[in-house]
Amino acid sequence: MAPSAETEYGDNVEVPDNKSRVTVVGSGNWGSVAAKLIASNTLKLSSFHDEVRMWVFEEVLPSGEKLSEVINQTNENVKYLPGIKLGRNVVAVPDLEHAVRDANMLVFVTPHQFMEGICSRLVGKIREDAEAISLIKGMEVKMEGPCMISTLITDQLGINCCVLMGANIANEIAVEKFSEATVGYRENKDIAEKWVRLFSTPYFMVSACQDVEGVELCGTLKNVVAIAAGFVDGLEMGNNTKARQFKRSLREMKAFSQLLFSSVKDSTFFESCGIADLITTCLGGRNRKCADAFARNGGKRSFDELEAEILQGQKLQGVLTAKEVYEVLRHRGWLELFPLFTTVHEICIGRLPPTAIVEYSHS
């Protein structure tokens, strides 16, 4: 690893540090792959420090060892990404404050339901010049209305936040199968391009799109659709039914996004974050898998139970997002405009049977 300014020049000499330091906040399935991607690039790009800190929500493994210690010993996240070397320059850090201290590039990648708590712990603890990017697919619903995770980060921490979304099933990228992703940004194209450089590899092609809300809403809403796709699979309704759902869901995703933010562009739905993520998640994602099991069990086993059994600690985002979307729709009087989103939530909470997924509308 490159020597730090302190070891090279002695403690008393002020050396300007023009290099960026990256911390990944989160170490689940995608968090670990993101750390691996980034770490392969910080070694190559002279504008970044080699070391990538990865904050680990500490847990004790069945062996009695701490997850962060095992990651640092083996260079593998044995729980969330077994069998994949992260890169020796990835350092697992269980203390959140310590993980973010010194970093000017913060990559947030945790299940969305934990972000409010994480942000409140980070207030006053991060560098003032920090830039953030969120890889998190989800949103919060507050009294004032829906709040995207990038907005939560900006509002709570007072920093700019881009997003990175796409057709990105983490286990496939972990073994370096080709995929694309979209960085959504608000105004500062230079920052977006810096994120693009940090993530891009020959097997992970990233492009920038000036539509932060559109990109983030695509990533968020497709998780609701993946639940619907799982119901269709679990009921063995076939490909035509599933394709019909793609059609309907794209329409609802676009209408919902553009009702919330008139700035959302049509073209965003044709980027990796849009149609491509919708398809991959409905074919191979965790939300689809758990919803398939839910429908096969006739809705008699809860999503919480299935999530724990099937995902072994990884988290579903779609069920919670369906509830959050439903709250927005109900509050605004839009339920009837969004029959697919509405029906998904009503099936998840047991108000409707899984078969209702094709009964809601014949449009």
Ligand X SMILES: O=C(CO)COP(=O)(O)O
Ligand Y SMILES: NC(=O)C1=CN([C@@H]2O[C@H](COP(=O)(O)OP(=O)(O)OC[C@H]3O[C@@H](n4cnc5c(N)ncnc54)[C@H](O)[C@@H]3O)[C@@H](O)[C@H]2O)C=CC1
User: Which of 21, 23, 28, 235 is close enough to bind ligand Y by CB under 6 A?
Assistant: 28
**Burial of 79: CB neighbours in 10 Å, binned 0-12, 13-18, 19+:** buried
* Cβ proximity of 24 and 53 under 8 Å: yes
Residue 317 is assigned to a ligand binding site: yes
Residues in 112-141 at the binding interface with ligand X, rule: CB under 6 A: 137
Whichever of 135 and 264 has its CB closer to ligand Y, that residue is 135
Sort strands 139-142 and 20-25 into parallel, antiparallel or unpaired: unpaired
Residue 273 — φ and ψ, nearest 5°? -65, -20
> Do residues 326 and 139 touch, judged by C-beta distance below 8 A?
no
| Residue 248 or 286 having the CB closest to ligand X | 286
Which residue stretches of 200-238 are H helix? Answer: 212-234
The residues, any chain, with a CB within 8 Å of residue 176's CB and separated by 6 or more, are: 201, 203
Residue type, 160: N
Kindly write out the interface string for residues 276-295 of this chain, putting x where it contacts ligand X by CB under 6 A and - elsewhere: -x--xx---xxx--------
114 is in an annotated binding site: yes
Q: Binding pattern to ligand X, positions 208-227, x when CB under 6 A?
A: ------------------x-
Applying CB under 6 A, which of residues 169, 173, 295, 344 lies at the interface with ligand X?
169
Does 36 sit near ligand Y (CB under 6 A)?
A: no
Q: Which does 182 bind (CB under 5 to 8 A by kind): ligand Y, ligand X, none?
A: none
- Number of other residues whose CB lies within 10 A of the CB of residue 332: 13
Q: Which stretch binds ligand Y (CB under 6 A): 21-29, 38-46, 89-97, 293-301?
A: 21-29
Mask: binding to ligand Y, 46-85, rule CB under 6 A, as x and -?
-----------x----------------------x-----
Binding partner selected for residue 162 from ligand Y, ligand X, none, CB under the kind-specific 5 to 8 Å limit: none
Question: For residues 217-248, b (16+ Cβ closer than 10 Å) or e, as one string?
Answer: bbbbbbbbbbbbbbbbbbbebeeebbeebbeb
Please tell me whether 287 is known to bind a ligand.
Answer: yes
The CA angle 27-32-33, to the nearest 5 degrees, is 150
Task: Please pick, from the candidates 22, 24, 25, 30, the single residue that binds ligand Y as defined by CB under 6 A.
Answer: 30
> Catalytic site residues?
222
Residue nearest to ligand Y (CB): 28
Binding positions for ligand Y, rule: CB under 6 A: 26-31, 57, 80, 109-112, 114, 135-138, 168-170, 314-315, 317
